[in-house]
Amino acid sequence: MVDKLQATLRQQPSDAASWAQLGSAYVEQARLNVDPALYPKAERALRRSLSLQPQANTAAQTGMAGLANARHQFALARTWARRAVADDPYAWAAYGALNDALTQLGDDQGAQDAVQRMLDLHPSTASFTRASYTLELHGRTTEAAAALRHALEDASNPADEAFCQHYLGELAFNTGHPRQALDHYRAALTLDPGYTASLAGAARAEAALGQTRQAATDYQKAIDRVPQPQYVLEFGELLESLGRQSEARSQYAVLQAEQKLFAANGVVDDLNLGQYQADHGSPALAVTLLTAEWHRRHSVLVADALSWALHRAGRDTEALPLARQADRLGWRDALLRYHRGVIEQSLGETDAARTDLTGALTANPGFSPLYAPDARKRLADLRGQG
């Protein structure tokens, strides 16, 4: 796609539509290959399109929204997406970018409205998968699975089918069904052998099933293909859980180097960096990073991460209100409930801690190779006290 568009633009350098397509193609390529160096190229292409066609250029505006989302500049993404839908209320892709931005900004009603408008205009794989995530965040996991099945039925090619199978795997894993998740990830890989996200997903499910050797192998293969920070962190934590401390530290060093590369290319990633620092670096730095992120956006993900960083820094009294705010949508995330349970235990709220730690392990008994065993130990200690 990129090569074809570049060839077109060499022949027609004033083609605003092709410049917009090229910019969006760079963003997608950067996402797939974890190559943030493509973001400045994307921005130049999109701004060239806007300079050639300043008015009614919804493709470039939507592209700029997608680029801002990729850089975690969610307020800017919201601005661009709103410009796009103001110019063209039927620009369904712009509603997808708006939903992504509003979800991350913690505007829950706005995010729901945007994805509903996208579904009304263009019921497709892209809209059903976004609807599924919105439903999952609200604890409506049965409806989320139904939306993904609609997406799978609507898929028109193997790549889209693989995409749907992958997210069915994600939902199955998050709801405590690692065997079912593994089946979906493997189905995705059969459809698209190069789908690295499903290879990492398979590793996650294998770790939960106790197949740690295969999990380590699959994580390494995934990272060799695409060194996505999430995969690197998960692999490091698996290695740490197995007592392979030196190898784990090597993965964490890779993660820190990647964060610097992202920052150099305009990516604001205080959430992921803060989460890493809370557990594997400096909790004080994590609090600083995540406090800055909280000022930018009040999403449940940031509330959870900041509450955990405050706990790790010994500030449990400040942490608990945020941990409870992270539950405002009804999200059934095991790690979130584990975090809140640990904070409650630290404050002597034993009944609440038992409830949340039980909830974490009920939702997903294998949610983390490091923290699920700790949840079981803490719960056993609390039951002994009661």
Per the structure block, which two tokens stand in for 280?
Answer: 């594997």
Radius of gyration over alpha carbons of the chain, in Å? 21
The dihedral through the CA atoms of 10, 12, 18, 24 has a sign that is positive
Q: Name the token pair of 52.
A: 């050639």
pLDDT, tens only, 200-249: 999 999 999 999 999 999 999 999 999 999 999 999 999 999 999 999 99
Closest CA to 281 of 307, 313, 304, 247: 313
Q: Which fold has domain 123-226?
A: 1.25.40
Phi, psi of 206 (to 5 degrees): -60, -40
Average pLDDT over the chain, rounded to an integer:
95
Q: What is the pLDDT of residue 386?
A: 57
pLDDT of residue 33: 87
Domain residue limits, the chain: 1-118, 123-226, 227-265
Strand ranges (DSSP E) for the chain?
A: none
Rounded to an integer, what distance in angstroms lies between the CA atom of residue 113 and that of residue 99?
A: 8
The CATH architecture to which 1-118 belongs is: Alpha Horseshoe (1.25)
- Which residues of the chain carry a pLDDT beneath 50? none
Q: Do domains 1-118 and 123-226 have the same CATH topology?
A: yes
> Using one digit for the tens of pLDDT, what is the confidence trace for 272-309?
999 999 999 999 999 999 999 999 999 999 999 999 99
pLDDT of residue 287: 98
